[in-house]
Chains A and B, each alone.
Chain A
C-alpha cells in the first residue's frame, strides 16, 4: 500500500483488509479443539480477538496495547492480526482515551479500551462519570455508547502504590454503568464477549492477580454458547453463579476474592462445615435473586471483598441481603474486606487482604450455638 494514498481510502482499505485477513487467519489456524488449559489472560485475549473478527466496528486501544500487547499482554497479537487501525496505542492520557472512545461509540464503533492499572484510570473519572455513564440518559436513549473500559484491578501481586486499588465501588455507585468482574477463566471469555455485545457501557474489572490463573476450558464450546445466546437473546449477563454448593452458610465474593472464598469453603469442609460460595460476577446489574436464594437456604452469610469495607460494594450487598432475607437469617451478615487504609506496600499487603483464616473466623462468628 502506497503511503501517499488519500487518508480516507487508505484507512478504509485497512479496516476491510484487516477484517479479511483476520478471517483468513482464523480459518487457517488449526486451533486445538476440545478442552484445553489456558489462562484468564488468554481467555480475555481470545474474547477480544473473536469479537474483532465478528464485527469490524470493534476497536481496541489504550496505552501500550499495540506492539507490546499491553503491560499484562492481554491484547497480545491483536495489532498483528487485525492491523493498526483496529488495535493501536494512544498518547498517554486516560481522559483522552475514554473521551475519544465516547466519540467513536457515538459514531458507530464499539471501542474496547484498556486502562493500564486501576489507579491510573482516575484521570478519566470525569469522562466516565459525566459522559460514559450519562450519555444515554441525557439524550433520552438516542445516543448509545457500546463501549467497554477494561480495568486491571485489585492487589495480591506485590505491586507498588497506585497499582493495586480496588476501584469498583466508584463505578458501581455511578448510575448508568454496568460493572462486570470475572473470577474464572471461562467467565473471562464469556463475560468479555457479553460486555462487548452490550449496547450500554461496561466497566470490565479484571482481577489482575488472576490473569495467570489456569483452567481447563473448551473455547469452541464457549464460542458456541456465545453464538447460541446471541441467537436466542439469552445470556448470563447480570447473573451470579454458585461457585460451590453448600448448606450451612453462604460466602458471597467477587473477582479476586472468589478463589479465596473457595479455599475457605474447602478448609471449612474439612472441619465438617458446608459453605456455599456465590460468585457475584456482575456488580451492576446485581443478581439479588440468586444471592438471596442462597442466603434464604443457608440462613447465614459472609461477604468477602478486597476493597475497603466502608461505603463499599460489600456494604451494599449486606444491606440488600438483610433487607430481603431478614427473617431467614440466624445471624447478622458479616463482611470480610480490606481495612480502611490506603492500599499497603508490598510487604504489608498480606495483612490487609482478606484471607482464608479471616473468612473462617467470620464464619465462626455466625452464632452457630443458637
Chain B
C-alpha cells in the first residue's frame, strides 16, 4: 500500500539537504486523503464513525439484517469465517469461566482483588484475537481475560491480584504490556512501541486499551495525538462499560460518542456493539488491517456494560438500578453467541461439552495455581529496582538480611 510515512520519515534523506533544509517538506499525504482515494468517500465520512454502532448479531442471537448492521459506504464489514467464530466462542466461554472463578477466589480470600470483565468478555476476546503474533497489546487492570486470550499463562496473569508481585509475566516475551492501573498511561507506551517498530521498518500493530472514564485523562489525548501526528499503527480500543467506578459516562463526556473523538485527532473512529463478538472481530480486524497497511491510528469504541461492581470492594447498588443491570443481562455476549452458533449449525452438544471442558480446565488451573502457597523472597525487594543495586540498596538489603537472621535465631532459641 502506498501511503505516506510519518512526518519524520517522508522527507528526502538529510544528506541531500542543504543547511536549513530540515524544514518540513510539502504536506504529507495523510491517512484521510488516502481513505478518500481508497474508499471513495469524503474525509469526514472516513473519520467520523458510522451513524450507528456496528452490530452483526443481535441480543437474541439472530443475524442482524445487513441493512441494519450500521454499515455505510467506507464502513463496510463482512462476516468473519466459521473457524474464527468458533475459536472466538471457545475463548468467550473460557473468559466467562475465568471471571467467575476469579471472583470466587477473591471471596475465598485467595486473591486480594479482581476487577472482573464479566459481561465484557466479547471485547476481551476480540482484542486478543484481532492481533497477529508480532503485535503488541497494552491492557488495563480489567483486561485479564484479554491477556490470557493472548496466550499468557492464567496463573501468571493473576500474580498482580494475588499480591506476590506487581506483575507475573514477561511483557517482552508475550508482547503484552504489564496490566496498567494508572489510567491511559499505557496508551503512550503503546504509541512508543509502535513508533520504535515503525522506525525499524517492522509491521507491528499495537492495540492500546482503556475504558470510558479513562478518556477524560490527559494521557488519552496525548496518546491519540502523538499516534496521529507520527502516523503510527495503533488501534485505540475503548471499552465503554458505562461506569468509571460509580460515575456514569454522562459525567465524563458529552461528546456524541467516544468514537467521535477520533476526528479531532485526524484519525478514523468507529463504534461497535461491545457484546457482539462477531461485529467486534469484524471492526477490530479491519482497524488492525488498516493500521498495518499504513492508515495511521484508529479509535474503536465498544458499547458494553460492567455487569458486576468495579471490584469486590465496591457496592454497585449505591449508584445504579437493578433494572438497568437486568436490561444488559438480556444483551449478554455469551448467550447470544451460543444461540447464533447453534442456529448456524456451528455448535452442537458435543462441541459445547468440549469447550466447557476446556474452560473448566483453565478454572482448575487457576484454583490450583492460586491455592498454592508461593513463598515470597524478601530480598526480591532490592533485586529489581535497578539493573545493578546501588550501594544504598545493598546496605538496606544487608540490614533486612540481618534482621531476618536474628529473627530466625531467636525463634530457634525459643524452640529450644
Chain A residues within 8 Å of B, Cβ to Cβ: 1, 3-15, 17-18, 21, 59, 66-67, 79-85, 88, 90-91, 93, 95-96, 98-109, 123, 126-127, 130-131, 134-144, 175-176, 178, 199-200, 238, 284-289
* In the complex, chain B residues whose CB is within 8 Å of the CB of A99: 185, 187-189, 191-192, 219, 222-223
Contact present for A103 and B5 (CB under 8 Å): no
A79 B2 Cβ-Cβ under 8 A: no
Distance, CA A200 to CA B387, complexed state (A): 6
CA of A352 to CA of B363, assembled, Å: 64
Given A96-B222, A108-B200: A3 in contact with B10 (beta carbons within 8 A):
yes
Given A8-B203, A101-B192, A138-B167, 8 more A-B residue pairs with CB atoms under 8 Å apart are A95-B222, A99-B185, A103-B196, A106-B189, A126-B182, A127-B219, A135-B178, A142-B172
Alpha-carbon separation in the docked complex, A80 to B23 (Å): 10
Spell out B's residues near A (CB within 8 Å). 1-15, 17, 19, 22-23, 25-26, 28-29, 136, 165-167, 170-173, 177-178, 182, 185, 187-203, 218-219, 221-223, 225-226, 229, 231, 294, 380, 383-387, 390-392
From known contacts A21-B15, A80-B22, A96-B188, infer whether A178 and B194 are also in contact, taking CB-CB under 8 Å.
no
CB–CB A106/B192 < 8 A: yes
Contacts of B9 in A (CB 8 A): 7, 10-11, 14, 84-85
Whether the pair A84, B201 counts as a contact (CB closer than 8 A) is no
B192 touches A102 (CB 8 A): yes
B189:A103 contact, CB within 8 angstroms: yes
Quick one: which of B1, B177, B231 has the most chain A CB within 10 A?
A: B177
Say how far B229's CB is from chain A's closest CB, in angstroms: 5
Residues of chain A with a CB closer than 8 A to B196's CB: 103-104, 106-109
Chain A residues, Cβ within 8 Å of B193: 103-104, 106-107
Are B14 and A83 within 8 A (Cβ)? yes
Kindly list chain B residues whose C-beta atoms are within 8 Å of the C-beta of A90. Answer: 226, 229
> How far apart are the CA atoms of A238 and B388 in the complex, in Å?
12
Residues of A within 8 A of B200 (CB): 11-12, 15, 108
Measured between alpha carbons, how far is A10 from B25 in the docked complex, in Å? 15
Name the residue of chain A whose CB is nearest to the CB of B395: A288
Q: Whose C-beta in chain B lies nearest to the C-beta of A94?
A: B222
- Residues from chain B with Cβ under 8 Å of A18 in the complex: 13-14
In contact, B225 and A93 (Cβ under 8 angstroms): yes
- A-chain residues with CB within 8 Å of residue B194 when the two chains form the complex: 103
Q: List 8 A-B contacts (CB under 8 A).
A: A11-B6, A15-B200, A21-B13, A66-B22, A100-B188, A106-B177, A109-B199, A138-B167
Decide: A79 and B14 in contact? CB cutoff 8 A: yes
Bound-state CA distance A6–B6 (Å) is 11
CB distance from A3 to the nearest CB of B (A): 5
Residues of chain A with a CB closer than 8 A to B17's CB: 80
Of residues B188, B198, B225, which shows the largest number of chain A Cβ atoms within 10 Å of its Cβ? B188
Q: How far is the CB of B303 from chain A (nearest CB, A)?
A: 27
Main secondary structure of the interface of B (DSSP, over half): loop
Closest to A201 in B: B386
Distance, CA A4 to CA B225, complexed state (A): 23
Given the complex of chains A and B, what is the CA–CA distance between A81 and B178 in angstroms?
36
Q: Are the C-beta atoms of B22 and A138 separated by less than 8 Å?
A: no
Task: Name the distance in Å between B267's Cβ and chain A's nearest Cβ.
Answer: 14
Check if B14 sits within 8 Å of A107, measured CB to CB: no
Alpha-carbon distance A67/B385, docked complex (angstroms): 37
Alpha-carbon distance between A361 and B256 when the two chains are bound, in angstroms: 66
CB distance from B401 to the nearest CB of A (A): 19
CA distance A118 to B173 in the complex (A): 36
Contact yes or no, A142 B165, CB < 8 A: no
Residue of A nearest to B222 (CB): A96
Distance between A117 CB and nearest chain B CB, rounded to angstroms: 18
A200 with B191: CB separation less than 8 A: no
Contact B226 A4 (CB under 8 A): no
Given the complex of chains A and B, what is the CA–CA distance between A143 and B178 in angstroms?
A: 10
Q: Which residues of A contact B166 (CB under 8 A)?
A: 134, 137-139
Bound CA–CA A130/B190 (angstroms): 16
Smallest CB-CB A-B distances: 10 pairs? A103-B192, A99-B188, A12-B201, A96-B222, A285-B390, A107-B196, A103-B189, A138-B166, A8-B201, A142-B170
Contact B223 A4 (CB under 8 A): no
Q: Which residues of B contact A9 (CB under 8 A)?
A: 201
A10 touches B202 (CB 8 A): no
Output the least CB separation between B208 and chain A (Å).
9
With A and B bound together, what is the CA distance between A290 and B163 in angstroms? 40
- Assess the A141–B383 pair: CB atoms within 8 A: yes
Partner of A3, one of B4, B8, B391: B4
Interface contact B13-A1, CB-CB below 8 Å: yes
Assess A3 versus B28: contact at CB under 8 Å? Given A80-B19, A83-B14, A85-B8. yes
